[in-house]
Amino acid sequence: MSQYNYFNPDAETMSPDQLCSRHLQLLRETVRRVLTYNDYYRQRYAAAGLANADDIKSPDDLQKLPTINKEDLRKTYPLGMCCIDKKDIREIHMSSGSTGTPIVMPYNAADLDQWAECMARCYVMAGAQPGDPVQIMPSFGLFNGGFGMYHGARKANLFIIPTGSGNTERQIRLAKDFGTRVFGSVVSYMIRIIELLHEHNAELPELKIGIFGAESFSDSMKKTIESQLGIEAFDIYGMTETGGVGTLGMDCPAHCGIHVWEDQYITEIIDPATGKNVPDGEIGEVVVTSLTREALPVIRFKTGDLSKIVSREKCVCGRTHIRISPIVGRTDDMLIIKGVNFFPKQVEDALMEIPGVLPHYQIIIEDTNGVKDIRVNVEAQEGVTGYMVEKHLKEKLGFSPKGDIFKPGELPRQEGKAQRVFYEKKNG
């Protein structure tokens, strides 16, 4: 286990009373900001009966405010929910959803510094020290991953190797040549790194820390990566809507939950069906309110992520901020087969990584007297075998589905939106 380190010890170890006082002050300031500068929020709050930020008497009053979601941000594209003048924007990042309309996050100078602060805390919490070489492997562009890790690494005075994504041979060479100590990446890319290291009988002896975001990963995957690379792996949390990677937090070396930077964000866990807060320890949807972001604050943003509050007590690392479990899935499409949680989108992502597999497939849930199993049928070009598909899905998702390979055009099509998931009831 790494030594416990702090980037901003005063902020990271605030007392519960300090955090409560800060929440009330900054929540009022944030609500006042959106009521002053944003018509969309103003109309929503007027309908909810809130006309003045001073009507908020305690942090608990947050629950009286309406939630927002990705569709609100898409409907107001490009800058309809922005709370600063366009001339004060210094950077934007964005993500796109199934509708194709991007979600835009604008930043002013203060927002960029806030992002850097949060990300720097993550680096130092993981054990990075000033001057440590950090290899940043997410892409640099509209996606926030590369730039978020870059801003934080500068703030933490690290030695930055901004490789971006891809070119695995070069990634390994640079890591060896410059003695990379910290990797920042999506977790699935580490499997390719490990495979190539094995092919070349090579090692990365200086590498000690892996910070992984943008996709969830199982404990078994985490342990495999740690043992294969000889590193300590950390699960970082953040999204475009909250300001980018690392803004929400990360697990500490005690690995007993993700610390959410509670001086920067208020986190709620709600029942997706009722919208009511659920008891600590119960799985629900993560709802986030930003307290210090200026260009586009989000208030009660429904992330769609499923998690639970692990603890509100002081962690063994000394941090006092709330801890949530690693994200277990999404509200809209989680499936559970033989105790494994997975999502149709994960199956699609894995299938599309296999050369020759075409974007037409079926996920069939078979229910035999209450016992569920999964079959994945795919269209593919000649040369793709069922073993190849099963092996890749096993590596990516942790279970081996049954299934068949079909020639191009053999699977049925639907008019309009494609149906991917089918259910079949059988009698054993």
DSSP 124-150: HHTT--TT-EEEE-S--SSSSHHHHHH
Helix then strand count (H, E) for the chain reads: 11, 21
**Three-class secondary structure of residue 343 per DSSP:** coil
| 380 and 406 Cβ atoms separated by less than 8 Å | yes
**What tokens appear for 150 in the block?**
């870059």
Query: What separation in angstroms does the CA of 421 have from each of 31, 363, 385, 424?
Result: 41, 5, 22, 10
Taking the C-alpha atoms of residue 4 and residue 260, their distance in angstroms, rounded to an integer, is 17
Question: What confidence score (pLDDT) does residue 283 get?
Answer: 93
Determine the distance from the C-alpha atom of residue 58 to the mean position of all C-alpha atoms in its chain, rounded to a whole number.
Answer: 29
Determine the distance from the C-alpha atom of residue 107 to the mean position of all C-alpha atoms in its chain, rounded to a whole number.
Answer: 19
Bond prior to 78 in cis (omega within 30° of 0): yes
What digits encode the pLDDT tens for the residues 121-173?
Answer: 999 999 999 999 999 999 899 989 999 999 999 999 999 999 998 888 999 99
**Three-class secondary structure of residue 93 per DSSP:** strand
Q: Count the alpha carbons within 13 Å of 160 in the hemisphere toward its beta carbon.
A: 16
Its CATH class, for the domain covering 9-16+79-330, is alpha beta
Architecture of domain 335-426: 2-Layer Sandwich (3.30)
Helix ranges (DSSP H) in 15-108 = 16-37, 39-47, 70-75
Taking the C-alpha atoms of residue 291 and residue 297, their distance in angstroms, rounded to an integer, is 7
Extract the residue ranges of the chain whose pLDDT is less than 50. Answer: 1-2, 98, 415-417
**CATH 3.40.50.12780 domain locations along the chain:** 9-16+79-330
**CATH 3.30.300.30 domain locations along the chain:** 335-426
Taking the C-alpha atoms of residue 23 and residue 17, their distance in angstroms, rounded to an integer, is 10
Determine the distance from the C-alpha atom of residue 415 to the mean position of all C-alpha atoms in its chain, rounded to a whole number.
Answer: 33
Question: What confidence score (pLDDT) does residue 87 get?
Answer: 98
Least Cα distance to 107 among 342, 292, 372 occurs for 292
Question: What confidence score (pLDDT) does residue 154 get?
Answer: 98
Question: What confidence score (pLDDT) does residue 248 get?
Answer: 98
Q: Count the alpha carbons within 13 Å of 296 in the hemisphere toward its beta carbon.
A: 29
